[in-house]
Amino acid sequence: MTTTFPRSSPSALGTDASGVDALVRALESTPDVEPHGLVLLRHGQVAAEGWWDPYSADRPHLLYSLSKSFTAAAVGIAAHEGLLDLDSAVISHFPELDHEVLDQRTRRMTLRNLLAMASGHREETLDRALAIDPENTVRGFLLLPPDEEPGSVFAYNQPCTYTLAEIVRRVSGGTLVEYLRPRLLDPLGIDQLSWKRDSVGELGFSGCYTTTESVAKLGQLYLQRGVWDGVRILDEDWVESATRMQVANPDEENPDWSQGYGYQFWMARHGFRGDGAYGQFCVVLPEHDVVLAITGQSLDMQAVLDAVWEHLLPAIDRPGPDTTDAALPGLALPPVAGGALDTVDGLEARGAFSRAASSAVPGLDSVVLEQDGGTWTATLTQDGSPVAAPLGAGAWAVAGSTAASAAVDEDGRVLVAVRFVDTPHLLWVRCDPASETFEARWQTEPLHDRLRTLHRPTD
């Protein structure tokens, strides 16, 4: 069931369009910030929206840790249905581990502690948990005694959310997506949502793929205090608890990450938000009746929020020019500029390149550039697995999960840009015909994947 928000315009919804334009320009011009998609809601309607070519409205995007907010919604719904008690001990949901988990702090750890990233550990435990048990993350986590009493200290900790996901699967008898489909996804009209899995189930803390508008829908549900089209999906006391500070985190470096943490939501200088690595945002401003969803490839996430506070926030309820359309025009990421590939001596139809010592992508050992019927394709082989990407000339060629562009530099080397458009990630490859070698580097390095898995799951 597909449902979309009504489309309006900034001025019709009491927002100065010049502030929206200034935000877009800031996102496009700030170093280490790259937007892929943006949806701005006011009063439950779309005030502005746009996607930077080659990204598009209908393509799901990897959310990284913004996935946590979807997992938390599953926990909240399960609590609403009486399937679990937020004050229950975590160990009570894993009776098979009862004889092994003897630390008293661990045994006092509750679901509320996990939701608030307050397990009592002072730092991330994922690597240590996997070192204890590579096949059972929950067991490895619960065998790591907390440093402090649960609930007393904040530490961003992936196994907290992973464990919550497994608890939802246990009490529901299915996968996270199966549980959420009739209870959250279908009512909100979220058709496209999939999740990366390990041998147990969805990662929970990361790996969720959905569209920018779907992120906005989750934010709007929380803005509406858990009610959608007159139907209560989340209890109001859950929304209240999830979106206020449950544990202080004043030692976090950036100002919008040191305002406290709720239930898989960050408190901020304005409102609250879910977010994920490389610039995935669901910003909710209840005092302004605003939701802002952004997907992108940004290393400086604080700069994204700074731009929102500087340009968008003052534009709310500020008079401005009349506007008639929510669509943001002319959004595009520049393709590779330069000469045509077939102008390179010896590269009229095909060139094979081996890895240079300076290449920065492990396991990427060969690149083949090949022309067929006027279309160039780059075949990248990492760990023996080839990934083929058609190359655009002065444009992005979109095929499957890649969008790629290539051109010849003034120095005669071929520069290839491959975007894995289900994700934030961009791979740069520079091929040298003279030495028949290539160098490669990531603009942003994938956290979970190799080349062949940089796409959304299909199941």
* 332 pLDDT above the threshold of 70: yes
Q: What are phi and psi of 140, to 5 degrees?
A: -60, -40
Amino acid present at 166 = E
pLDDT of 3 over the 80 cut: no
pLDDT at 440 over 90: yes
Residue 303 in contact with residue 30, Cβ under 8 Å? yes
End-to-end CA distance of the chain: 18
**Whole-model pTM?**
0.96
pLDDT(193) > 70:
yes
Band of residue 407 on the pLDDT scale cut at 50, 70, 90:
very high
**Calpha distance 402→414 (Å, rounded):** 18
Q: Tens digits of per-residue pLDDT, 197-229?
A: 999 999 999 999 999 999 999 999 999 999 999
The per-residue pLDDT for range 130-181, each reduced to its tens digit, is 999 999 999 999 999 999 999 999 999 999 999 999 999 999 999 999 999 9
Q: Which two tokens stand for residue 336?
A: 């590779």
Q: How confident is the model at residue 4 (pLDDT cuts 50, 70, 90)?
A: confident
Q: What DSSP designation does 356 have?
A: P
pLDDT in tens, 97-111: 999 999 999 999 999
The pLDDT value recorded for residue 425 is 98
For residue range 42-52, list pLDDT tens digits in order: 999 999 999 99
Of the pLDDT bands very low, low, confident and very high (cuts 50, 70, 90), residue 2 is: low
pLDDT tens digits, residue range 247-291?
999 999 999 999 999 999 999 999 999 999 999 999 999 999 999
Residue 419 has pLDDT above 70, yes or no: yes
Cα angle 62, 64, 70; round to 5: 90
Q: How confident is the model at residue 458 (pLDDT cuts 50, 70, 90)?
A: confident
Mean pLDDT confidence for 22-37:
98
**CA pair distance 18, 22, nearest whole angstrom:** 6
Sign, CA torsion 227/231/233/235: positive
Please give the structure tokens belonging to residue 406.
């290539």
Tokens matching residue 292: 């802002």
Please state the rounded mean pLDDT for residues 33-42: 98
